[in-house]
């Protein structure tokens, strides 16, 4: 098979590798599309490495090159012994390897998997992130229970958005479970979220808008801060009030829109460190702050001093953790796929950059962030 191999930071090579073979309980999947994520980019630049060896030390790419890509959809080619999948089935893949993925009996699962936090499994590993082969290859072997079959004729480029949507659903569930003063749909007005601010209208920010409006049925003031006009227009089409942070002081804008009250819920989806300096002027005391974006360069930890004074409920989710269905498959991926297939969440418009073939994929990494109109990149094979 052909695979795109990251051999050192900012260097990728298309190589010929032996075709993988499915073992018991595994499925061999021919990859149709892979979404490109900021996590992939940070590994590509060398800013991040989640492939840890003994003692928790990161394994250098020179010692173990990686095949990236964790937002995977494709078609089952072959199923190993005991796998309940048929060849030809179109699937999305949960890239996380957990107790169910390893074929363990439910009564032996770790405390995290047993309580619905599968992406924090005590023995967690992840395809495309922690050293296991990712989806930027023609074929990939994954646990069969990690494959969720499609039931509708969804384009591969849209199905690849299942993973980021699952992450947004997980983040929303964590926020609902948090011990916070203000809650979505709170029974008493004094404890109800009335205003929400989302910073950033990239893939995550725009998915949050749709989930809040169409899934969680939030009907209050939903503000999105985004400098790009096209992304602001998409946010408004899905029911947000979009503002340009470059047009004035965002703190003054939010204060005016909320009659001086500020927001009870802030979703940081931009990865811009400067937003932490502004948070005290954006949120009410004891607001909920969801830290979704990664990166946050350019701001020191001293920015937290003023924020700490407001006693916010800080929620810091990662991945698409969730409970497992009776068949061992990830419930949150099933839910995300259902939302995409039903059209309740519209992801097609978010896919703005489609790269065809592994040979062209390195250029997508080289051009990352240079087009302000880009939202979601997908590699189709």
Q: Domains plus CATH for the chain?
A: 2-161+347-380 (3.90.180.10), 168-315 (3.40.50.720)
How far is C-alpha 228 from the chain's CA centre? 21
Please give the pLDDT value at position 186: 79
CA distance 180 to 192: 10
CA distance 76 to 91: 7
Burial class (CB in 10 A: 0-12, 13-18, 19+), 350: buried
CA dihedral sign, ordered 5, 163, 207, 262: negative
Average pLDDT of the segment spanning 148-176 = 95
pLDDT band at 55 (very low <50, low <70, confident <90, very high): confident
Phi, psi of 148 (to 5 degrees): -110, 115
pLDDT band at 111 (very low <50, low <70, confident <90, very high): very high
189-208 confidence digits (pLDDT tens): 888 999 999 999 999 999 99
pLDDT band at 179 (very low <50, low <70, confident <90, very high): confident
Average pLDDT of the segment spanning 55-61 = 91
Using DSSP, state whether 129 is helix, strand or coil: coil
233-281 confidence digits (pLDDT tens): 999 999 999 999 999 999 999 999 999 999 999 999 998 889 999 999 9
CA distance 195 to 313: 16
The closest alpha carbon to 199, from 298, 259, 302, 273, belongs to 273
The secondary element (H helix, E strand) that includes residue 277 is helix 275-278
**Does the pLDDT at position 187 exceed 80?**
no
**Does the pLDDT at position 303 exceed 90?**
no
Please give the pLDDT value at position 54: 84
Q: Is the pTM of this model over 0.85?
A: yes
DSSP 8-state assignment for residue 63:
T
The secondary element (H helix, E strand) that includes residue 284 is strand 283-291
Average pLDDT of the segment spanning 295-309 = 86
Find the farthest-apart pair of alpha carbons in the chain and give their distance in angstroms, rounded: 63
């Amino acid at each position: 098979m052909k695979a795109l191999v990251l051999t050192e930071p900012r260097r990728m090579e298309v190589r010929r590798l032996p075709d993988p073979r499915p073992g018991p309980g595994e499925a061999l999947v021919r990859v149709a599309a892979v979404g490109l994520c900021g996590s992939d980019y940070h590994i590509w630049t060398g800013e991040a490495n989640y492939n840890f060896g003994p003692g928790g030390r990161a394994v250098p790419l020179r010692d173990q090159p990686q095949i990236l890509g964790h937002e995977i959809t494709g078609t089952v080619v072959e199923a190993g012994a005991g796998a309940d999948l048929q060849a030809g089935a179109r699937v999305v893949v949960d890239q996380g390897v957990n107790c169910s993925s390893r074929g363990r009996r439910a009564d032996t699962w770790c405390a995290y998997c047993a309580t619905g936090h599968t992406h924090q499994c005590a023995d967690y590993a992840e395809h495309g992130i922690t050293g296991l082969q990712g989806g930027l290859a023609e074929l990939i072997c994954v646990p069969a229970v990690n494959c969720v079959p499609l039931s509708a004729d969804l384009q591969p480029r849209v199905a690849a958005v299942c993973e980021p949507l699952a992450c947004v659903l997980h983040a929303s569930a964590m926020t609902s479970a948090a011990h916070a003063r203000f809650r979505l749909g709170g029974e008493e007005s004094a404890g109800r979220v009335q205003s929400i601010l989302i910073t950033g209208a990239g893939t995550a920010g725009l998915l949050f808008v749709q989930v809040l409006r169409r899934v969680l049925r939030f009907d209050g003031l939903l503000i999105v801060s985004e400098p790009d006009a096209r992304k602001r227009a998409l946010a408004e089409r899905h029911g947000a009030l979009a503002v340009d942070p470059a047009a004035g002081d965002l703190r003054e804008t939010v204060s005016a829109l909320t009659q001086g009250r500020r927001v009870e819920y802030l979703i940081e989806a931009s990865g811009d460190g400067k937003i932490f300096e502004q948070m005290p002027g954006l949120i009410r005391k004891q607001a909920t702050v969801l830290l979704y974006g990664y990166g946050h360069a350019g701001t020191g930890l001293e920015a937290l001093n003023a924020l700490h004074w407001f006693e916010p409920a800080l929620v810091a989710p990662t991945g698409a953790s969730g409970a497992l269905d009776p068949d061992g498959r990830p419930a949150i991926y099933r839910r995300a796929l259902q939302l995409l297939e039903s059209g309740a969440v519209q992801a097609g418009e978010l896919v703005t950059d489609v790269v065809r073939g592994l040979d062209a994929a390195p250029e997508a990494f080289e051009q990352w962030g240079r087009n302000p109109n880009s939202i979601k990149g997908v590699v189709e094979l």
